[in-house]
Amino acid sequence: MNQSTSKAVPTIWLIRHGETEWSKSGRHTGTTDIALTEQGCRQASALAPLLASQTFDLVLTSPMQRAMDTCRLAGLGEQAEIEPCLHEWNYGIYEGRTTADIREQVPDWSVWTSPMPEGETAEQVGARAQALIDRLLSRKASQIALFSHAHFLRTLAAVWATGAPSLGAHLALDTATASVLGFERETRAILKWNRQP
């Protein structure tokens, strides 16, 4: 995939929010607006020196409180704009449940391959990620920061690199980490992944 029709060649930083009680316990947190833990706040603050070493001309955050608070504690809150497309995967009936719990009823269940009743499929999340990528590439921004959530950022990186969300299954992403998307010559690439501050 190349970037021949884009107006800029951006570097896109993906920042996952800090720890919440649900991320700590492995519960799928999509539409539930849950706060950072004290540890999550410390993690978010620890991102500030790393992000301060960059100059961002566009900062976007998910509308969920955990992402907005991470953005603020990481030092970019005043620059940030709310971007609805950055919200987490809608897990539908599986909201708030762990994979192990779900697999007691649905063996081999996976967010990447299984139906998501009342929620979003991997293809739908991939389409949302692609729409956001298209808009970012049309902007005159060279350094972009996106504050969002694990499954959505994994999907975004997968779509950036391959055009399909399935690669996201292989991209583990910890809380309060920074990853970087960009270009290797004209080819879209994942330049850094799951970097701790």
Residue matched to tokens 């504690």? 73
Give domain status of residue 6, yes or no.
Answer: no
Query: Does residue 141 sit in helix, strand or coil?
Result: coil
Which positions are annotated as active-site residues? Answer: 17, 88
Q: Which two tokens stand for residue 61?
A: 């955050």
Q: Tell me how many domains the chain contains.
A: 1
Give domain status of residue 43, yes or no.
Answer: yes
Please list, in sequence order, all residues whose beta carbon lies within 8 angstroms of the beta carbon of residue 70, skipping any fewer than 6 positions away. 15, 16, 17, 18, 36, 40, 44, 47, 147, 176
Give domain status of residue 175, yes or no.
Answer: yes
Nearest to 14 by CA among 165, 138, 177: 177
Digit-coded pLDDT (tens) for 40-88:
999 999 999 999 999 999 999 999 999 999 999 999 999 999 999 999 9
Show the domain range for 149. 11-195
Give domain status of residue 84, yes or no.
Answer: yes
User: Cβ(12)–Cβ(144) under 8 Å?
Assistant: yes
Q: What is the pLDDT of residue 5?
A: 43
* DSSP-assigned beta bridge partners for residue 148: 16
Give domain status of residue 3, yes or no.
Answer: no
Residue 140: pLDDT band with limits 50, 70, 90: confident
CATH number for position 174: 3.40.50.1240
Give domain status of residue 39, yes or no.
Answer: yes
pTM above 0.85, yes or no: yes
